[in-house]
Amino acid sequence: MAGKALDGIPLDWVRAFEAAARLGSFTAAATETGLTQAAISQRIANLEARLGAPLFHRGARGVSLTASAEAWLPHASAALGLLRQSAEDIFGTGARALTIVASASITRGWLMPRLTRLKMQGRLSFKTLMVEADEAPGRGIAVVRYGAGTWAGLRARRLYAEELAPVAAPSLRQGDIAALPRIHVTGPRAGWSDWDGPEEPGAGGLRCDSMGAGIAAAEAGMGVLLASLPLCAEALAAGRLARLDRGSLMPGAAPWLTARPEDIGQRQWDALKAAFCDG
């Protein structure tokens, strides 16, 4: 009977169920699929009628999965994911528009210099990442995250191995590094306290909210920066910055290219890795 219930079942019905069940909302499923909420509701109702069993408990506060639907959801998600992945691999039917979300510093200092390596058709967009936690995954979206590379449910490939070292404008190269004003960068990277111990209370110095701004300040002669060497490699090669110490920090955290498997096809993922990932 179960097999006959699924004979000829429209795939759109299953897609509507899977999206609503995964997102916990008919409204969210409608947004993701580009349908109306009424269309999602009707397709799920049709599926329930075909299966002969309810899939959602409907109430004033929203919907929740029945026990049977909760057990079926991972199988439905896996089946749709396999269909999507196989179609992309064989026919190249991945998302035609791809968006890479990254900090302005990484976009300018790492991604753009390697953009000519990217072998991919379709529209490509870059979006500046403001707060990582606010960037929800979505179809055709890859996000550069800073960390150890362990994010549940995400593909992850390191862009580069992070390395930090003191740099400054060449005019400051002969100065005592301890006497130079320090440029601090807020955020997840290691900082001066990891280089030579905690700062004294009330310590001065310029503070920037991005590595890109810190590099610009260092080039302008504002002081010494504990810089990401991969991001300032071009400035070092061009002579706009100089290393003040041959030592360096190699923190465990680094920038990683990430995406959900269902959002970016294997061909697109391989193209992104080949273009941007040296780590």
Written as one letter, the residue type at 261 is P
Looking at 205-209, 210-214, 264-268, 273-277, which range is the least confident one? 264-268
Give residue 71's pLDDT.
96
Give residue 112's pLDDT.
96
The arithmetic mean of pLDDT across residues 27-50, rounded, is 94
Looking at residue 124, what DSSP letter applies?
A: E
Q: What is the pLDDT of residues 49-66, one digit of tens each?
A: 999 999 999 988 889 999
Decide if 97-159+254-276 and 164-243 have a common fold.
yes
Going by pLDDT thresholds of 50, 70 and 90, the confidence category of residue 1 is very low
Give percent above pLDDT 90 in the chain: 65
Looking at 73-77, 91-95, 107-111, which range is the least confident one? 91-95
The arithmetic mean of pLDDT across residues 231-255, rounded, is 94
Q: Match domain 97-159+254-276 to its CATH number in 3.90.45.10, 3.20.10.10, 3.40.190.10, 3.40.50.2300.
A: 3.40.190.10
Burial environment of residue 116 by CB neighbours within 10 A (0 to 12, 13 to 18, 19 or more): exposed
Helices (H), the chain: 2-6, 11-23, 26-33, 37-51, 67-91, 104-106, 192-196, 211-219, 233-238, 266-276
Reduced to 3 states (helix: H, G, I; strand: E, B; else coil), residue 143 is strand
Residue 10, pLDDT above cutoff 80 = yes
Give residue 176's pLDDT.
80
Going by pLDDT thresholds of 50, 70 and 90, the confidence category of residue 96 is low
Backbone angles phi, psi at 142, to 5 degrees: -120, 135
Class of domain 2-91: mainly alpha
pTM for this one? 0.68
Superfamily of domain 164-243: Periplasmic binding protein-like II (3.40.190.10)
For residues 264 and 95, the answer to whether their CB atoms sit within 8 Å is yes
Backbone angles phi, psi at 180, to 5 degrees: -80, 145
The arithmetic mean of pLDDT across residues 180-189, rounded, is 90
Q: What is the pLDDT of residues 230-242, one digit of tens each?
A: 999 999 999 999 9
Q: What residue segments make up the domains of the chain, in order of their start?
A: 2-91, 97-159+254-276, 164-243
What is the DSSP code string of 75-99?
A: HHHHHHHHHHHHHHHHH--S-SEEE
The arithmetic mean of pLDDT across residues 107-135, rounded, is 83
- b/e per residue 58-96 (b: at least 16 CB within 10 A): eeeeebebeeebeebbeebbeebeeebeeebeeeeebbe
Give residue 178's pLDDT.
84
Q: What is the largest CA-CA distance in the chain?
A: 83
